[in-house]
Structure 1
C-alpha cells in the first residue's frame, strides 16, 4: 500500500473536517479536538482508538468501581426512601392525565433533595458522584419519565453549566437557590435552530455603559420553561476576531426577575406530558456582565460540554425503564396461559424476553461504565456518552414495545401503564442531540482522531531516518493485517475464561474496523464528511464494538466477584457479543460499492418524495 498517498488523502479529509454535517455535530467534534495539541494526540478512549483499528482497554477493563465505602453507604441509605416515594406518593398516571406533576409530589421531591443531587453539600445539595446520581436516576426512570425530565432539565442541563463553568461567585450565588426551591432550565433550541445549534438568532449586545448585555429573542420547547426562575440562555454576541466583528455564541445566567422574560402556555405533547414545556421570550432583558458563563464567545463549548456531561444520566434512567418493563412482561408471561401452556414456555416469547434482557443489560452497563469513568477522572468520554444515549433510547423503545406485545391487548390498555411509557420514550431519540446527529458526531470525531495519527505518519515519511520506529511499526501492522495474520489485542487476562473466545473475536473485528475506516478515507478523501451512509455504518460499528466491550467487562466482573447471577450475566454477554461482532464482521460488505449503490438508490427515492411533497405513485385504482 502506498502509505504516503493514503496519508495525503487523509490529510485533505481532516483538513476540511470543519464542514461537518450540521452545526451541532461540527461543534461537538470541534470541542472534542479543540483541547488537543496539534498533531496526533493520545487518548484512552475506547471509541476514539477503535477508529485507528486499536483496542484500547484502559477505560473498559476492568469494569469501573469508583465508589468509596462511604459513598456506597450513602447510596444504600438514599435508594430505599426514593423507591418508596415513587411507589407510594408519586402517581404517574395522574401526572400524565393532568399534564402536570402534583404539587405534593413536587414538594416531596424538593424535601428529598432530588433537585440538587450533584450540588456540593456546602452549597445546599447532596454532593453525589456521577455513579451515585446514575443509580437514583435509574429509580426515577423505572417509575415516571415525565418526572425524570423535570428533574433532569433542572440539574442535568438546567444549572449544570454553573457547576461546570461557573466562577466562585456564580456558584455561591446560584447553587443554593437551585437546591432551595427555584427551578432551572436550559434554553438553547429556537424555531430555526434544532440540531443546527449554531444558527440561533437570539442576540445579546453590550449596553453603552458596559454593565449589562441586552438580550432579545426566543426559545422553543424548553423543559421547565414556564416555571424556571434561573436559566442558562445561549445567544449570539458580537466579538472581535482578527480585527473584525463577528458573531459568536455566549452563555448567560438569566433570572426571570431581571424583567423582560416571559413564557408561553405549556405545550400539549405526545409524552412526558407532566413535564412543563413552553416557549420562552426575552425582550430587552438586562443581564449583568457578571452573568456571562464560561466567557464571551465560548457558549458553544459550554453547551456541548453540558450535554456531553449529562448524557450518561439518560442511559441510567432508561436502564430503569427497561428493567421495569421487562419485569412486567416476565411476570405476565409466567402466569398467562394460552393453548394449555404458560406464555413463558413458548420459544418465541422466550426469545423476546432474552432479547429484552440483553438490551437492558447493555444499556445499564453503558450507563455505569461512562459514569464510572467520569468519576475516575477520565477526560475523553464524550463518544462513549453519546453512544450510551443513542443505544439506550433505541433499546428502551424496543424493550417497551415488546413488553406491550407480550401482554397483548392488555398491554395496549392504559391500566397497565406501558402505553404511557411508550409515549414518554419517543422524545428520548430526539432531544439533547438527536440520535441521527449523534451517530454522525461519533463517526466524524473518530475519523478526525484517526486522521490526526495518519498525519503524524505522513510527517514521519518526510523524515524517515528520524522516525523509523513509527514507520516500521505501522508497516508491520498493515502487512500482518493484509495477509490475515493480525490477531489484535490480547484480552484474555482481562475477561472471564468463558468469554475469551468472544473477546478474541472482538479484538479481530476491531482490526478490521480500522481497515474499513482507512478504506473509507482512501476512497472519499475530504468528501467523506458528506457521505452520511458511510458515516452511519461506521457509527453502527462503533456502537457494536463499544457495547460488546462493556458487557464483556461487566460480566467478567460478576464472575470475578462470584455474584449470584454471574452465570446468567456471562450468558447475556456472550449472546450480545456473538450478535454484535457478527454485525461488525459484515461492515466491510456494508461499505462495498454494491451495498452503497442501494443506499444511493434510497436517497434518490427520498429526494423524489421530498420534491413531490409525498408519495409520487398514484393509487392502483388511479382515482
Structure 2
C-alpha cells in the first residue's frame, strides 16, 4: 500500500490534495495487520511479565529481549533484505514502532537501535559496512547507539568539539571528545559518532565499543524513561580505521540532520502509541472509579477530557500514517547498492524534513496533553506509581526535548519552507503574490454548507490563505533578518502545524467515508469537525498576534480587516459532539478512531 505519486515536501501549505493520495490506518493490508499483531504479542508475552525489572534498568534483560525481538524480525523492518533485514514498507515499520510503545522505556531502547542507531548505515554506509554491520544489527547481535549531543552542544549540533585526526600513514582516525545523553550507551556495541576532522569538517564514524580508548560514563538519573540506558560516551585517542568513516569527510551534517528527520517522525509514532495507551488506562479507570454513587465516566467533564484525548490522538495518528506514505514513495527509488546511495538517501529524506518536524512538535505536545488529562482523570491515584498513567506522564516529557527541541523545530519549519521557495522548489512566493491581489478584492459572504465536512474543507482553505498572507508580510518586512524574529517564526510554524494537522484529519475522514460509508465514519466526522473548528480559531488568533507584531496604523487595520473576512465562521455545537465522542470511548474503554 503506497500513495500513487510523489508529493513535494511542504506543498500542503499551497496545494489542495485529493484524499486518495494519502495513506490511512483503515486501509492496512493483511500482512501489515499481522506485523502489528506479532508486535503486540511480543510485548504481551515477552515484555509485560518483566516490565518492572526492565524499568529498574536491567542491561542483561533489555539486551536479551532485544535479541528476541531480532529473532522475530521486529528490528529489521527498515533494513534491506540483502543485508539480513525484512525491507518492509514504512507503514509496516510505523506499526511496529507504535505497538512497541506499551513496553515503555524498552520501546525507546529498541527505537534508538533500529532508528537513529541503524539507519545511518542503511542509508549512508558503503557495501562493506552494510555487509559487516547490518545483519548483526537486524538480529540485535550488535546493539547500536547514536552519538551527536555533547556537554556544550545540544541544539547547536555543528558546534560539537569532538575531533578526528587522520594518522600519518592514513590507516585510521584518532577520535577525542565526549558525547552526552547517549541512549543505549550502557550496553551498545556500535556507536554512530560525529566528530570534526582536523577540527573543521563535520564527519561521521562507526565506532566499536571494543576499540581502545572507548569508555562509558555513569548512568544519568532521569525523571522518566528510567528503564533505558542514558550515559556519556568518552573517546580518548580512539583509533578508528578509515574503513569506518561513514560516507565522506565533511558530510556528517547531511547524515546527522537527515537521520534526525527520521528520528523526529519515529518519535511522533511513539507518541501515538503512548497516547492510545493513556486513553485505554483512563477510560477503564473512569468506568471503575465511583464517586457520589456513580462511575466518574458518567460526569460530563470527565467525558469531555476523554473526548479531547481521543480527538487529539486521531489527528496525531492521521498525521504519522500520512507521513509514512510520503516516505514510502519518496524512498522507493533509492538504490541501496548504488555508489551514490548517500546522496540518494539524503535527498529523499530531506524532502520531508518539514513534515517530520511538524509531526514531532504536534505529537509530543499532543501526548503531553493526553497524559496530563489522564493523570487528572485518575485523581490522586494518577500521582502514584501504582497506576501506569504516572509513568506515561513522566516518560512523555522528554519528547519535547530530544530529537531537536520543539523550539528549534518551530524555527526550522518556516525556515525550511522559505529556503525551498528561494531555491525554486515550491512556488510559494508566486502563490502569495496571487493571493494578495485576491485578498484586496475579498468580500465577506454567507456561505452554505450542506454536505459532511464541506465547512471543514472551507476552513482549511482559509487557513492556508491566512498563512500565505501572514508569511508574505513577514518576508516582505524582515527579508534576510526574518530568522531573528523568533516569535513571528514560531507563530508561522504553529499555523503550518495546524494546517497539516487539520488537513491530515480531514483527508483521512474523507477517505474513510469513501471506503467505509458515512455511518461507519461518523465518529471520524465528529472528531474532524471539532478539531478543525477549534484549530481554526487558534490559527486566527495566531495570525492576529503575528500581524500586530509586524504592522501598525492603517496597514494593520487593513490586514486585520482582511483577516476578519477570512476567519468568518459559524458556531458549532462542540459540546454535543464531544459528548457523542466520549460515549464511544467510554463504551469501548480504549481509543476509538
- Please say whether Structure 1 and Structure 2 have the same fold, judged by a TM-score greater than 0.5: yes
What's the offset of the Cα at 1:556?
Answer: 1.1
Worse-superposed segment, 432-441 or 255-264: 255-264
Match of 1:201 among 153, 158, 161: 161
CA distance in structure 2 between the partners assigned to 1:593 and 1:56 by the alignment: 29
Match of 2:95 among 123, 135, 140: 135
Quick check: 1:259 aligned with 2:212? yes
Match of 1:270 among 191, 210, 223: 223
Deviations 1:104-163 (A, max 9, x none): 53443233233323212332222222110111111111x123111111111100121110
Quick check: 1:171 aligned with 2:130? yes
Which residue does 2:336 correspond to in 1?
A: none
Quick check: 1:480 aligned with 2:451? no
Q: How does 1:490-505 map to 2 (within 5 A)?
A: 497-505=451-459
Match of 1:225 among 185, 206, 209: 185
Quick check: 1:183 aligned with 2:136? no
Question: How many matched pairs?
Answer: 521
Q: How does 1:71-90 map to 2 (within 5 A)?
A: 72-90=29-47
Q: Is the contact made by 1:334 and 1:343 (CA closer than 8 Å) also made in structure 2?
A: yes
Shift of the 498–121 alpha-carbon distance from structure 1 to 2, 3 Å rule, reads same
What's the offset of the Cα at 1:506?
Answer: 0.9
What's the offset of the Cα at 1:65?
Answer: 6.0
Q: Is the contact made by 2:179 and 2:234 (CA closer than 8 Å) also made in structure 1?
A: yes
Worse-superposed segment, 96-105 or 117-126: 96-105
Which residue does 2:76 correspond to in 1?
A: 116
Shift of the 578–164 alpha-carbon distance from structure 1 to 2, 3 Å rule, reads same
CA distance in structure 2 between the partners assigned to 1:317 and 1:594 by the alignment: 36
Q: Is the contact made by 1:46 and 1:56 (CA closer than 8 Å) also made in structure 2?
A: no
CA distance in structure 1 between the partners assigned to 2:549 and 2:210 by the alignment: 61
What's the offset of the Cα at 1:545?
Answer: 0.4
Deviations 1:581-617 (A, max 9, x none): 22222233111336999xxxxxxxxxxxxxxxxxxxx
CA distance in structure 2 between the partners assigned to 1:152 and 1:329 by the alignment: 26
What's the offset of the Cα at 1:574?
Answer: 1.1
Match of 1:305 among 235, 238, 258: 258
Gaps of 5+ in 2: 1-5, 332-347, 553-593
Deviations 1:230-283 (A, max 9, x none): 111100013xxxxxxx71200111112332211112222111111111111112
Q: How does 1:160-559 map to 2 (within 5 A)?
A: 160-180=119-139, 181-238=141-198, 247-377=200-330, 379=348, 380-452=351-423, 476-484=434-442, 497-559=451-513
Which residue does 2:529 correspond to in 1?
A: 574
Shift of the 503–172 alpha-carbon distance from structure 1 to 2, 3 Å rule, reads same
Shift of the 455–49 alpha-carbon distance from structure 1 to 2, 3 Å rule, reads closer
CA distance in structure 2 between the partners assigned to 1:191 and 1:234 by the alignment: 14
Shift of the 510–264 alpha-carbon distance from structure 1 to 2, 3 Å rule, reads same
Higher RCO structure (Cα 8 Å, ≥6 apart): 1
What's the offset of the Cα at 1:56?
Answer: 4.2
CA distance in structure 1 between the partners assigned to 2:12 and 2:502 by the alignment: 15
CA distance in structure 2 between the partners assigned to 1:168 and 1:88 by the alignment: 37
What's the offset of the Cα at 1:370?
Answer: 0.6
What's the offset of the Cα at 1:512?
Answer: 2.0
Determine helix, strand or coil for the equivalent of 1:404: helix
Determine helix, strand or coil for the equivalent of 2:189: strand
What's the offset of the Cα at 1:226?
Answer: 2.1
CA distance in structure 1 between the partners assigned to 2:251 and 2:58 by the alignment: 36
What's the offset of the Cα at 1:434?
Answer: 0.9
What's the offset of the Cα at 1:228?
Answer: 1.5
Determine helix, strand or coil for the equivalent of 1:131: helix
CA distance in structure 1 between the partners assigned to 2:354 and 2:261 by the alignment: 9
Deviations 1:300-348 (A, max 9, x none): 0110111112322212211111111111111222333322333222221
CA distance in structure 1 between the partners assigned to 2:303 and 2:81 by the alignment: 47
Q: Is the contact made by 1:477 and 1:486 (CA closer than 8 Å) also made in structure 2?
A: no
CA distance in structure 2 between the partners assigned to 1:106 and 1:580 by the alignment: 40
CA distance in structure 2 between the partners assigned to 1:247 and 1:83 by the alignment: 46
Shift of the 124–57 alpha-carbon distance from structure 1 to 2, 3 Å rule, reads same
Deviations 1:426-484 (A, max 9, x none): 111111111110011002112333455699999xxxxxxxxxxx8xx876542222221
Which residue does 2:570 correspond to in 1?
A: none
CA distance in structure 1 between the partners assigned to 2:73 and 2:426 by the alignment: 50
CA distance in structure 2 between the partners assigned to 1:46 and 1:500 by the alignment: 26
Deviations 1:74-125 (A, max 9, x none): 3333333321232233133332234657255344323323332321233222
Shift of the 114–476 alpha-carbon distance from structure 1 to 2, 3 Å rule, reads closer
Shift of the 144–210 alpha-carbon distance from structure 1 to 2, 3 Å rule, reads same
Which residue does 1:64 correspond to in 2?
A: 23
CA distance in structure 1 between the partners assigned to 2:72 and 2:425 by the alignment: 52
Cα-Cα RMSD: 2.8
Match of 1:589 among 506, 527, 544: 544
What's the offset of the Cα at 1:44?
Answer: 4.0
Gaps of 5+ in 1: 1-42, 239-245, 459-469, 598-623
CA distance in structure 2 between the partners assigned to 1:163 and 1:81 by the alignment: 24
CA distance in structure 1 between the partners assigned to 2:420 and 2:480 by the alignment: 14
